[in-house]
Amino acid sequence: MVISWGHILFPGLEVKESMLFKVNRDADFSVDEKRDEDFIEAMEEVLEGRERSPAVRMVYSPGGGRLRDELARRLSLEEEDLYSIEGPLNLGGLYDLVNIQGFDHLREKGRPIYPSPAFSDDETLWDRISRGDVMIHLPYHSFDPVVRFFQEAAADPQVISIKTALYRTSGNSPVIRALEEAAMNGKQVTALVELKARFDEERNISWANRLEKAGVIVVYGLARLKVHAKITMVIRRENDRIKRYLHLSTGNYNDRTARAYEDIGLFSCREDIAFDGGILFNMLTGYSAIQPMRKLVIAPAGLKRRLLELIGREISRSKAETPGRIMAKLNSLADGEIIDALYRASRAGVKILLCVRGICTLIPGAAGLSENIKVQSVIDRYLEHSRILYFANGGAEELYLSSADWMPRNLDRRVELMFPVLQDDIRARLRDTLEAYFRDNTQARLLNSAGDWQLQSPAPGESPFRVQEYLLSGAKAESPEAARSEFVVRRPPPAG
């Protein structure tokens, strides 16, 4: 019910109808890709155009038939563009209610964020990464090692260069500040700032201007492609040689969303991966054409082809007694070629488990088509955002992390990155994490062949399992604080 205050604003008049409404305008504007010299100005024109763009939808509260029709006429909206909603029209306004004092008993308790056990203040990041790859799982682990990666690189006199691909950052980004500091310290800093990051264009333009003023070499993305890959490379002089350190991630360099988005980052100085990282940055900055890589796989040059090869290999190695197996955790699945390949794999007996948070146009469980495919979604306190891919490969299992969802826009129209997990302990841990998602019987929803999502619950006699709580408890158990929470007393065994 909408309470009208119109009679107060217009004394003496009678209010006959009232309603709340919200209008959405077209935000899908394409920038002129030919304007290289004044690309920032072209992007600013796009942002200005959004303010005057055509209306594409109106949501409204019931009770205002004539008002609705008049607004629809003036906005040139058809009946299919109008949506009546019984409830709040702008859910963002509910954030103010969440923080009202005096209602703590109605809120779910905040979850702690634990420091990564792999890093300590007694050892430089370079020494730790040189001993082996390191994985951090956000937001169960703190984002601090990522910030420290940039800060130590900025201050370290042995570091000669930093290269990074930024897609989204926070409003007061410590990453941006570290890049500015590095440039002012005389290091060569190159930052690819994606100006076409949807709804972050204005902020990224601001960052680009700031970085340029500090002396950073700024690249404004690529023509006709959006750079969605997340990668940073630090080049350091060590013992009369050059050594490269990489951070690769499924998510953005945003310290704010790192407290609410589930993502996975990997630190490495493996020479083969670092070599590919150098090739990638040369391509992104225009210093080389597309080159083949040994470990990293990028879109649109070869990621879809590689995924189809991996699915095809699983089909060829699948046998009745040892069926192939594919597990994937994604945000969205809508690419027709990938879906067709998964259908072929299902018909060949490959067991396929998919955890897809959002859009999924694949139909699971259909007779003769996808009987061996299970699709579920996990919606919980944290936004599931990482992409984890597993292929059994006849026992020589392979596991990958990626910035890309399996959608045409990611695989065909963006620069995306898929990177292998090569260290045994990290690969085992990620496989356990991936399998844990398919054990969730509390927050998981299962997709059936009719397209309906069904909330799962523990079967009779089955214990509740909530994957985010499981991962949180694991981070707590291995945190440095947990190791210091009790005294381990050593004493000699009893005599006799």
Active site residues: 228
Q: How many CB atoms sit inside 10 A of residue 423's CB?
A: 16
Contact 352, 326 (CB under 8 A): yes
Strand extents, DSSP E, 195-277: 217-219, 226-227, 230-238, 241-249, 261-268
Nearest Cα residue to 233 out of 296, 186, 191, 195? 191
Nearest Cα residue to 261 out of 405, 421, 117, 468? 468
Give the separation between CA 192 and CA 218, rounded to whole angstroms. Answer: 6
Give the separation between CA 148 and CA 69, rounded to whole angstroms. Answer: 56
**No. of helices (H) and no. of strands (E), the chain:** 15, 21
Give the separation between CA 378 and CA 447, rounded to whole angstroms. Answer: 11
Give the separation between CA 382 and CA 21, rounded to whole angstroms. Answer: 30
Q: Cα 142 from chain centroid? A: 16
Q: How many CB atoms sit inside 10 A of residue 469's CB?
A: 16
Which tokens go with 433?
A: 């994490």
Distances (CA, A) of 431 to 134, 188, 328, 438, 448: 16, 38, 10, 11, 25
Q: What is the dihedral of CA 80, 82, 86, 88, to 10 degrees?
A: 130
Contact 231, 248 (CB under 8 A): yes
